[in-house]
């Protein structure tokens, strides 16, 4: 979530039930980003859409993903769930390519290619736009009165002060500071091609289906081990790593121990976890603290 924007990334079986249980509600949940077309990432769309169409919580929904994923989703939802001459809600399937897929004045979301089984797999980068901080001390030195002039300067415009002097924004704005970056990678079979997209991310959310002792299986099914995910975080200079898609065969602490031996700042995400991401920081919000 960012301001009024909500993005659901993938929709595994039971997602609609977990959303209900979490209490976060369906309101404005009108944008779903799909990493790839495997069933464990899309099957939940059926339940979610049937709920939406009955409750009229949302009248328009956009599902974004690669062609392969959208082909399967089209069959799943239009062939069964919304079948009929007049679907109760409009669903738009938007085929994406690498690049910016959503943008407003303060954030952008970009898709990038991920190697996994099957074509058109994507990861997503959520990025806050960089800002140049307003140097208050400098403004005092230049005797810039409070009010609209400062706002204009922050927006990057040259202003003329009441006394006739012209001030250039460069005189009162510091060097650009990058905005918060959150990267989400679904299933992935290799990490070398993810380095660039993950670079300096404040948080990287990524799968870790296997442990190193089953690295061969990981490779066979194009999944990552906890070590590979941690190594990527380290190489990319990520600040915080969150592991997901953990196999039920493993104990969470073993996954954590393997990853933390390479990248200490790692957590394993569980259902209903709530993380708040800020520049350079990722805080787990404890239930009841809001």
Minimum distance from residue 246 beta carbon to Zn ion (Å): 11
Distance CA 27, CA 9 (A): 16
Instruction: Scan residues 93-122 and list those touching Zn ion (CB under 5 A).
Output: none
Task: Note whether 40 binds Zn ion by CB under 5 A.
Answer: yes
- Burial label for 140, CB within 10 Å (0-12, 13-18, 19+), is exposed
Task: Note whether 223 binds Zn ion by CB under 5 A.
Answer: no
CB 158 within 8 A of CB 168: yes
Task: Note whether 38 binds Zn ion by CB under 5 A.
Answer: yes
Nearer to Zn ion, 40 or 235 (CB): 40
Q: Does the active-site annotation cover 202?
A: no
Catalytic option among 3, 10, 40, 106? 40
CA 105 to chain centre: 17
How many residues contact Zn ion, by CB under 5 A?
Answer: 3
Minimum distance from residue 41 beta carbon to Zn ion (Å): 6
Taking phi over 0 as left and psi of -120 to 50 as alpha, with beta for the rest, 86 belongs to beta
Among 187, 208, 239, 244, binds Zn ion (CB under 5 A): 187
Distance CA 9, CA 57 (A): 19
Minimum distance from residue 173 beta carbon to Zn ion (Å): 45
Minimum distance from residue 200 beta carbon to Zn ion (Å): 26
Piece in contact with Zn ion (CB under 5 A), picked from 40-48, 63-71, 74-82, 91-99: 40-48
Nearer to Zn ion, 223 or 239 (CB): 223
Nearer to Zn ion, 121 or 282 (CB): 121
Task: Note whether 71 binds Zn ion by CB under 5 A.
Answer: no
Nearer to Zn ion, 69 or 144 (CB): 69
Task: Note whether 214 binds Zn ion by CB under 5 A.
Answer: no
Nearer to Zn ion, 61 or 69 (CB): 69
Long-range contacts from 225-231, C-beta under 8 angstroms, 24+ separation: 225/258, 226/255, 226/256, 226/258, 226/259, 227/258, 227/259, 227/261, 227/262, 228/191, 229/191, 229/259, 230/258, 230/259, 230/260, 230/261, 230/262, 230/263, 230/266, 231/191, 231/262, 231/263
Minimum distance from residue 36 beta carbon to Zn ion (Å): 6
Q: What angle do CA 219, 15, 85 make, to 5 degrees?
A: 110
Annotated catalytic residues are 40
Query: For binding to Zn ion (CB under 5 A), which residues are involved?
Result: 38, 40, 187
């Amino acid at each position: 979530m960012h301001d009024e924007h909500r993005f659901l990334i993938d929709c595994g079986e039971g997602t609609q039930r977990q959303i209900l249980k979490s209490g976060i509600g369906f309101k404005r949940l009108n944008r779903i980003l799909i990493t790839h077309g495997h069933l464990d990432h899309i099957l939940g769309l059926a339940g979610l859409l049937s709920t939406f169409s009955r409750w009229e919580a949302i009248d328009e929904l956009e599902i974004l993903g690669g062609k392969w994923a959208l082909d399967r989703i089209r069959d799943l939802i239009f062939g069964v769930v919304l079948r009929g001459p007049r679907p109760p809600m409009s669903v738009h399937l938007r085929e994406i390519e690498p690049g910016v897929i959503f943008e407003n004045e303060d954030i952008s979301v970009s898709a990038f290619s991920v190697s996994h089984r099957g074509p058109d797999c994507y990861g997503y980068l959520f990025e806050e736009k960089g800002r140049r901080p307003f140097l208050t001390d400098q403004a005092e030195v230049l005797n810039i009165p409070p009010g609209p002039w400062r706002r204009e300067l922050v927006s990057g415009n040259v202003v003329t002060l009441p006394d006739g002097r012209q001030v250039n924004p460069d005189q009162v704005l510091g060097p650009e500071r990058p905005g918060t970056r959150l990267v989400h990678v679904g299933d992935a079979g290799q990490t070398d091609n993810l380095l660039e997209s993950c670079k300096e991310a404040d948080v990287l959310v990524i799968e870790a289906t296997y442990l190193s002792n089953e690295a061969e299986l990981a490779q066979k099914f194009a999944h990552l081990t906890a070590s590979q995910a941690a190594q990527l975080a380290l190489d990319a200079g990520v600040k915080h790593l969150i592991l997901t898609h953990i196999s039920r065969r493993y104990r969470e602490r073993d996954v954590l121990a393997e990853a933390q031996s390479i990248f200490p700042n790692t957590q394993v995400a569980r259902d209903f976890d709530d993380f708040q991401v800020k520049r350079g920081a990722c805080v787990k919000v404890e239930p009841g603290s809001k």
